[in-house]
Every structure is written in C-alpha cells, then in structure tokens.
Chains A and B, each alone.
Chain A
C-alpha cells in the first residue's frame, strides 16, 4: 500500500486511539463538519484534509483491516479505535524516511486542487492539439467553466504558442524531476496530449503495478507540490503561474454557520439565534466551534472568559489529549462540552502558529 499506508499510519499515530476509523475517513474525504475540522486541527492532520475525496468507506475499512492483520495496528474492540503497535510504530518510521517530505496541504488547497487539475489537463490537451493544427478535438472535460477558462488563456498566449508550449514543458519537466520517479511517471501518463489520451487510475495502477490508492495519492501529491511550488516562486514558473490564483479567504465555513455568525455579529445571544433559526442549540454550538476553527481571530471571549480558557487549557496540557470526555471528566463536569471545544479550537490556532 505504501503511500496510502504511510498516510493511514500517520493518522492513526496522531489520533492516538482517540478516534475511530470513521473519523479518518471523514478527514481524508474532507467531510465538512465541525467535528472533522476540529479533529484535523486538534491532531495536526490538516495537511491530509480532503486529499482523497473519491475514497470509498469500504475501501478504507479494508485497508485498516489489512494493517491490523499485518500486526501494525490493534483495535480495541470496545470502541473500535485503532492504535499503533510497536511494530507499526517502527514501520511508520521506515515509511517516513521513504516518503517525507510530503507536500500535502489539504486544508488550504482542497478546494483549489480540483479546478487546478482540470484546467491543467485541458490546457495541455488544447495547446498541443493547436500545435498539431488539430482544431477539432474532444475536450477531456465536460465542465463549461473550465472550457471557458482554458479558451481565454489559450487566446492570450496564442501569438507565441511555440515558445509558450516549450516553457510549459520545461517548467513541468523541472518540477517532475524533483519528485520520485514513480510519481513523475504516474503523473505524466495521466496527462493528455494531441492524439495521446491520458490513462485512467485503474490503467495507471495496472501499468505501474500499484494499488489504485497510491495512484490517486501520487497524482494528488504532485498536484499539491506543483501548486505550492508555482505559488511560492511564480518567477521561476512564469508560464505555469496562470494556473494559480492569489490566495483568498477560506470558504470552509458552511452557509448555515455563516448565518449564525451574522446573528452573533448583530449581538444576538445563542438562545435567541437557536429560536429564530429553529435549530437545536447543539447545532448552533457546532456553528460557533466551526467558525472558531476556521477563523484565527474569532472572538472566543464572547463565550468564555480568559480565566476559563486558562483552566480548561491547563487540563488539556496536563492530559495531553483531545478526547473531550477525558477533559470533561478531569474538570469534574464543571464545563459544558461546548466550552471545551471552543478552547480547543482556540488552542489549535496557537499551536499552528507555533509550528510556523
């Protein structure tokens, strides 16, 4: 399984027996729920958020099972939460040597990568067909927005097409040379040129004798790498930089949460919002936590005092856990789960700042 295995072991290691496999699934497919976002932050797994959108639940359970059979993890039967065995831990070390550094940055890029990918593929198909003088070709996407974007950018570069193709080629080539051979090969065969159609994931898996999981992750990984390389050094990759847009604010917050936020900003208290919106209080709480997670500057102080934050965060530090129940119990039920989650959210921002 290799890369996929590595990522799974990383996840299992980080969540440290505090979440079930379903939690890992939600992370990898990028489920938009407060719980998933919160977990991603809490366990520092934000890089892997939504890097495997087409993953089927059953496939993940197969893989987890396999890890168990190989003795790399064990699963406590009472709560179905996987943990690494000593052997698994050792194995993770080996895989880490093999695969790091990884360039995934799911939390920031997950909404951009899909678009980036489709534009890139179609653009290459388009310019190479034009070079060949082949005006009638069937685009490999059905999405009109992508078609329009490609057409516009093609027109902008049409006058110097040959040079343009050359530099796109050279920039891609140099970026492909930076990653491992297997990844470069998988990605190259995914591309479509004039009269040379790219391969499906299953075909790539067959050709390179890889599980489909790894094919998917190789492609995703290269896209993340590519995107960030261009973003960081647009001067080095001037032709490819047309595919990357300026950084913008997060779209992560769900619409419903945004509405709640609007009311909060108007000074309404949570009970009133709950009544007004005919939503359960727990849902409103979810919204608040969701926003606290996504926005570093969210005014947590509207809901908990500095003193309370201190008290809760102290216990979290002592216990070294993100398990709500443990924290709640250690505080002898003094605080509602909502407050604990809010404080968690706030601390995650501090953590990730510390990381940078």
Chain B
C-alpha cells in the first residue's frame, strides 16, 4: 500500500491530518507483516498503531490489554467514534454474556482481551477458529519480570501466539528500559522484531519537586499552588483515605474550585460520573489513586501533582503522561516528605507472600493432594489462605514452573517440595529486594541534585529532546510564581426545575 493512501485512511477513520511521530513507521511495518516493537512516549498515540491496521486488514486484530477498565474505556471511545465492530472479552462478563459474545465473535474486527482470559480454554478455542491477522500486546512492559507487576499470564503469550497460527505481532509500551525491551522480545518467543524506539521524555512537561516535613503541609502547599490557577489538575495519592480527605479539605479551602475524589472503592456508577465530569471540564481538580488514569485521555490536564509517589519510576512516568496531551505546557509537581517511604514499602510487602503464607499454602496443597482433590478456583484458594490476588498469583506461577501443579492437579514429591519451599522463600526475598531497589531509585531521583528531567529519563535512554517549556525547578523554573491564568468556574446551584430544563435542553438558552 502506498504511503499516500495510509494518510488518507488515517483521515478517513480518525479524522487526523498527519501521523504523529512513529505511527506511520510502525503501521507500515505491521501492514507488511513484520513483527514490531514500538516504544513511544505516553499519550503519543500508540492505539492508532493497531487500530488503523485493524480497520484495514482482512482478518481480526486481537489486543491484549492489562486492565479491564482500560479495555472498556477504549471500546467505548471507539464506539462513540463510530467503530462498531469492536468488543472486549473480560472476566467481568457473566458466563451467559461470555457465551453469547463468543458465538458472535466473528462479527468483530478488533477484540480486546486480558491475558488471563486468554488462558480460558473456551475463549482460546474460539479465537483459534478466527482468522487472526494481528496480535497486539499493549503495555508490553507487563510481560517482563522486571516490569511493573508480576502478571504471570503475560508470560504465556508466546504460546498463545503459536496456537493462533502465528499472526503478525505488535508489542507496544510507553515505559521500557533497554533491559525490558530485550525481555519483551524474548518472552514473546521472537528472535527478531522491527524495533521503533523513540525517546520517552515529554518536551512539554516542566518538573518540580518540593520537600516538606509533614504530609499535612502538602495540602497547604497545594492550596497555594492552585488558588490562582485555571488549570485541570490531577493529584495522585497512594491511599483511598488520603484521596478522600484531601478532596474534602481542598473543596472547603478552595471554594471556587470544583474538586472530587476517585478511587477503586467507589460504586461503579459514581466512578463513571466523576470520570466524565472531569473529561467534560465540570471538575477542576481530581484527587485520585492509581485506579484513575490508565484509560483517561483528557487533553488539557495542566498539573499532575504527586501527593504520594508510586512504587517505581515507570509508574511515575506513566502517571505524568496524563498531562499535556494537547502538547501545551503542563507541569509535574512532586511533594515529598520523609514519612512517605512507609506506604510503598507496605504496598510492596502486601503483594508478596510472607514466610508463614508459603508454609500454609504448601500444607493446604498437601491436604488437597491427600484427599485426592483438585485445586479449586483462585478466589476460593485466596479466601481459604487469606492471600491477596497478587500473592496467590505469585505462588501459583512458581508451583506450575516447578511442577508441583499440573493444571489443577497437585503433584507430590517430598524432596521436590522441600526444595521448592527454600526456593520460594528466596524468590520472595529477591523480589522484595528488587522492588525496594526500584522504589529507592525513584526516591533517589527526588533527592538528587541536578536537572530533574535528565535524571528521571536516564535509565531509559541516552539523549533528551530540548524541552519547549521551562525545564525544571532545578534549571530555574520559577514554578511557584507561575500561573496558567484564572477563570471563574463555580458550580452554581440552581432550582431543580431549572436544572431539569437544562438537562433536557429546554428554555431560552436552548430553543
């Protein structure tokens, strides 16, 4: 296909006049059947890299995506744009819905799946019968042991690709060190992939870090910062309680700002409303946990503030990637207090099993083995052993690797099990040390003297683009006196009957 027509197709399907950096190169390779690795900064338009080929190619495009909410958002966004032949298979569907969807699957051109659902025999068998022309791994850093999270089903994708008759593979990520990039290729069972690696730094984001003594000071600082700004703002917290508390205080202390919180503990309907209000500029400030963000594609976010830091640099880069998607000036601000180190450490610990958990699990498995029972479903095991999802996933993966488990069957061998116990204990320790080291890397960034931008991106790439905005507080950006300007945007309370008329677009304003 000639390049001229690719541009036409882009315009036709998405309404964009030109490709963004890297898109065209990646799309051309994919359309020519080459396995491709694409590393592009957050918010740079990775989705188009597979969505356009999906529209143009003959067969079906399967996209592996790590988060259900992310999938659902993307399907919704595509449908709103008029692509009807897109769907998502995920674990939130009821058995009935899943069956129905599977029976109509050939109707779709673009199918989003989670790595876990790909292990479901029913889903796998059904997909096998479809002419899959492109297999996409989005957020491909998840495949790496050294990536963000231990998603063991990502490690089985190589096998899935084979069973699907070896379609063209496209792996995409916004945050991958050279080490992780290599790992992605290996784990996918590829020997050779066309690599399109672009620098990850965002030239329209300024950086600032401020150290405070106590977490409570941060709220005062944030108030001062936002008071005279007209700027959509996200504030990240690592706990739900903090997000709620901060939202309450900021609302009362910044009466002309519309503030709300968002976290995974809210009712689904409320979450959707808050998310849409923010998209729709009905909110100025959103206090959120990492549950918010992945699927958010709001163009004009000006501030991403970290009240708490995530547990590693990769996540941090993802989170600031929500800012300035319109290419205009945006600012990342980190408030750090010494006591902040505590929460992430807890978080990392809670993701890994503890020594007594390992013993308990082995006892449990042994009892099952003796009574001739098979391994029950994950939820039950987790409940029985009081393990979190990530903890059990970790143990189960290694049990499979060491042949203590064959599918749902328990295989017993005294010596082997003994060795395994030692192995797993070590493995937990290694993983903990590794994760803590990742966290320290981010913390040391906060403490380092020198340009914030340079040291942030250093582990990922050798050179930096020249920022088109003030670089960072260290390079002289007077961020505390900077303002995006002011505009009054108060939530006025109307009579309910006026509001009802507005909702139904009735009255003088509308008719």
Binding site for B on A (CB under 8 A): 54, 118, 124, 128, 131-132, 135-142, 144-145, 165-166, 168-169, 172-173, 176, 181, 184-185, 187-189, 191-203, 206-207
Contact = CB atoms under 8 A, between A and B. Distances in A.
Contact of B276 (A140, A145, A169): A140
Contacts of A195: 280
B232 to A, nearest CB: 15
Contact of B503 (A128, A137, A139): A128
Interface stretch (B265-273, B316-324, B451-459): B265-273
Contacts of A165: 504-505
B72 interface: yes
Contacts of B493: 207
A203 B267 CA distance: 13
A1 to B, nearest CB: 19
12 contacts: A128-B505, A132-B505, A136-B82, A138-B76, A140-B273, A166-B506, A184-B496, A192-B503, A194-B505, A196-B503, A198-B273, A201-B267
B67 to A, nearest CB: 13
A165 B504 CA distance: 7
A195 B500 CA distance: 13
B80 interface: yes
B190 interface: no
B245 to A, nearest CB: 13
Nearest to B267: A54
Interface string B469-511: 0000000000000000000000101011101111111100000
B81 interface: yes
A131 B505 contact: yes
B502 A193 contact: yes
A138 B276 contact: yes
Given A176-B500, A200-B273, A169 B506 contact: yes
B10 interface: no
Given A172-B500, A195-B280, A136 B80 contact: yes
B219 interface: no
Q: Which of B268, B270, B504 has the most CB of A within 10 A?
A: B504
B282 interface: yes
Contacts of B261: 202
Contacts of A140: 269, 272-273, 276
B273 A185 contact: no
Interface in B64-88: 72, 76-77, 80-82
Contacts of B97: 144-145
B277 interface: yes
Interface residues of chain B: helix, strand, loop or mixed (majority): helix
Given A131-B505, A200-B270, 15 more contacts: A128-B505, A138-B80, A140-B269, A140-B276, A142-B268, A145-B97, A169-B504, A184-B496, A188-B496, A188-B500, A193-B505, A196-B282, A198-B273, A199-B273, A202-B260
Contact of A142 (B76, B80, B503): B76
A191 B498 CA distance: 13
Interface residues of B, number: 36
B251 interface: yes
Contacts of A202: 260-261, 270
Contacts of A173: 497, 500
Given A140-B273, A201-B270, A189 B504 contact: no
Interface in B238-285: 251, 260-261, 266-270, 272-274, 276-277, 279-280, 282
A136 B502 CA distance: 19
A159 B454 CA distance: 60
Given A142-B76, A144-B97, A196 B502 contact: yes
Given A194-B505, A207-B493, A169 B500 contact: yes
Contact of A207 (B82, B282, B491, B502): B491
A31 B81 CA distance: 41
A176 B81 CA distance: 35
A12 to B, nearest CB: 26
Given A138-B80, A142-B268, A207-B493, A197 B276 contact: yes
Given A131-B505, A202-B260, A142 B499 contact: no
Given A197-B273, A198-B273, A201-B267, A138 B77 contact: yes
A58 to B, nearest CB: 13
B505 A142 contact: no
B499 A189 contact: yes
Given A131-B505, A132-B505, A137-B80, A142 B272 contact: yes
A113 to B, nearest CB: 13
- Specify which of A141, A188, A206 lies most central, judged by the most chain B CB atoms within 10 Å of its CB: A188
Nearest to B270: A200
A5 B279 CA distance: 36
A128 B510 CA distance: 11
A29 to B, nearest CB: 13
A197 B266 contact: no
Given A139-B76, A144-B97, A188-B499, A197 B280 contact: yes
Nearest to A147: B79
B76 A191 contact: no
A197 B277 CA distance: 6
A189 B280 contact: no
A11 B346 CA distance: 42
B273 A191 contact: no
B251 A206 contact: yes
A187 B76 CA distance: 26
A135 B83 CA distance: 12
Closest 3 CB pairs of A and B: A193-B503, A200-B270, A185-B496
A203 B274 CA distance: 9
A13 B16 CA distance: 65
B1 to A, nearest CB: 28
Contacts of A189: 496, 499
Contacts of A198: 273
B70 to A, nearest CB: 12
Contacts of A185: 495-496, 499
A181 B495 CA distance: 9
Nearest to B499: A188
